[in-house]
Amino acid sequence: DRIKLEISRVGGTAPDSLNTLAGCNATTADQTQAGNGGQQQGGGQATASPSAPAGGQQQGGGQQGGGQQGGGQQQGNGGQAGNGPVAADFVDITKVRPNVPQKARTRAGGSSGTFSSTCGVNANKKFNTDNVIVAPGVTNGAHHLHDYVGNQSNDAFANNDTFAAAKTSCSNQGDKSSYYWPVVRIQNGTQDFDQNNDGGGKEGNVGQIQQAKQAQIKFVGNPKSKVVAMPKFLRIITGDAKTTTNGLANANAHWSCTGFENKVQLTTQYPICPQGSSVVRTFAFQSCWDGQNIDSANHRTHVAFADAQGNCAGGFKAIPQLTMRLVYNVPAPTLQNGQVKNAYAVDGFPEQLHKPATDHDDFINVFDENVMNKMVNCINRGQRCR
């Protein structure tokens, strides 16, 4: 089943002959021993760049003693579960040069309005390790834990009828869309509720789960053209959960700190924020649609990013661009002697080493058509609506 899943994730069709392969009995690794013994398989170099080739040896001689145990102090390069993050994955944001480009100005014929939807911060703790977009019908298809806001019926077995009939956490009941992203954890030695679960501690996602203090959802316009309505049940994934092995081609992670968001955005490092500043994750989704499909085999080609001036290429149409801003109060990690203490990290596939570039976000449009039309009109008229 895992082989079939991996083939389907990249748009292929698994051969029927896979059903004749022998079954596999696996034993879950003891997390207290995970990572012992030198070189980490498939990990790449422990540097700030997640695009290093798989299989390289980590700096510092590999993982020593299985990573962090109990006290939040990272041993070697392993992290709490022996699979990252490492000190090089963090940077003091006050020491990073400004790198945020100026936004394109809205031209005549463009759309400058916004539409906001307030859907909470997952205070009701709706979690699962599924991903119905990439792995429908597969329990634990994500292999990491997701926060969910909006639609309250999203799991591996949900379909469009399920979404349409669901309750929503959004204050606007016409928005039953599903917004979901991997949780952030502090690797402080804590064992959270899923320490012994698939997608959690069994797969190297450990530490204290953090709830965002703000989750801002806003749809914005296009500087070059008017926008058209999104089709109902449109699916969009932004970012790449496997940049450590795939490289950065589809990375779309943006990490910053409050007070620095207009100056510094980071993709390959987590920020260490100064006192009084909070960690911020920002997502800007693809804003061009092919005009026909609500999904595609690789979950990417039916949507695309506009260029810097707002142009949608290849006959694609501009749609309201979903932007999300997640703010967290996490204690600042400390770096000392090449080690990081009390690291925070995004959940991910076990072999992805909790690199910041693996951050990603998922969206399924379940707006009522009347509300979607209100959104489009609001954005096209340059208004601020919710």
Mean pLDDT of 213-235: 98
| Tokens coding 334 | 């400390």
| 336 torsion bin: left (phi>0), alpha (psi -120 to 50), beta (else) | beta
Q: Are 132 and 155 in contact (CB under 8 A)?
A: yes
Percent of the chain, pLDDT > 70? 84
Q: In whole angstroms, how far apart are CA 276 and each of 66, 89, 332? A: 33, 22, 10
Q: How confident is the model at residue 24 (pLDDT cuts 50, 70, 90)?
A: low
Residue 13: the pLDDT is 81
Residue 253, C-beta contacts closer than 8 angstroms, at least 6 positions apart: 239, 266, 267, 281, 356, 357, 358, 359, 360
Can you tell me the distance from the alpha carbon of 31 to that of 206, in angstroms, rounded to the nearest whole number?
10
Asked if pLDDT for residue 78 goes beyond 60, the answer is yes
pLDDT, tens digit, 9 for 90 and up, residues 231-281: 999 999 999 999 999 999 999 999 999 999 999 999 999 999 999 999 999
pLDDT, tens digit, 9 for 90 and up, residues 123-170: 999 999 999 999 999 999 999 999 999 999 999 999 999 999 999 999
User: In terms of C-beta density within 10 A (0-12 exposed, 13-18 middle, 19 or more buried), how is residue 114 classed?
Assistant: buried
Q: In whole angstroms, how far apart are CA 259 and each of 94, 166, 272, 275? A: 11, 37, 13, 11
Residue 8: the pLDDT is 67
Centre a 10 Å sphere on the Cβ of residue 96 and count the other Cβ atoms it contains. Answer: 16
Asked if pLDDT for residue 323 goes beyond 70, the answer is yes
Q: Are 191 and 206 in contact (CB under 8 A)?
A: yes
Residue 4: the pLDDT is 74
Chain-centre distance for alpha carbon 284: 11
Amino acid at 182: P
| 215 torsion bin: left (phi>0), alpha (psi -120 to 50), beta (else) | beta
Which one is predicted more confidently, 153 or 46? 153
Asked if pLDDT for residue 58 goes beyond 70, the answer is no
Mean pLDDT of 337-347: 94
Strand (E) or helix (H) holding 149:
strand 146-150
Mean pLDDT of 171-189: 98
Asked if pLDDT for residue 92 goes beyond 70, the answer is yes
Q: How confident is the model at residue 28 (pLDDT cuts 50, 70, 90)?
A: very low
Residue 14: the pLDDT is 78
CA terminus-to-terminus distance, the chain: 43
Residue 43: the pLDDT is 33
Can you tell me the distance from the alpha carbon of 16 to that of 20, in angstroms, rounded to the nearest whole number?
8
Residue 15: the pLDDT is 84
Q: How confident is the model at residue 76 (pLDDT cuts 50, 70, 90)?
A: very low
| Tokens coding 350 | 């076990």
Residue 201: the pLDDT is 97
Q: How confident is the model at residue 62 (pLDDT cuts 50, 70, 90)?
A: very low
| Average pLDDT value for the chain | 87
Residue 23: the pLDDT is 65
Q: Are 256 and 240 in contact (CB under 8 A)?
A: no
Residue 25: the pLDDT is 59
Q: Are 156 and 135 in contact (CB under 8 A)?
A: yes
Q: In the Cβ-directed half-sphere of 323, how many Cα atoms lie within 13 Å? A: 14
Can you tell me the distance from the alpha carbon of 300 to that of 169, in angstroms, rounded to the nearest whole number?
27
Domain positions in the chain are 85-386
Asked if pLDDT for residue 186 goes beyond 90, the answer is yes
Asked whether the bond before 136 is cis by omega within 30 degrees of 0, the reply is no
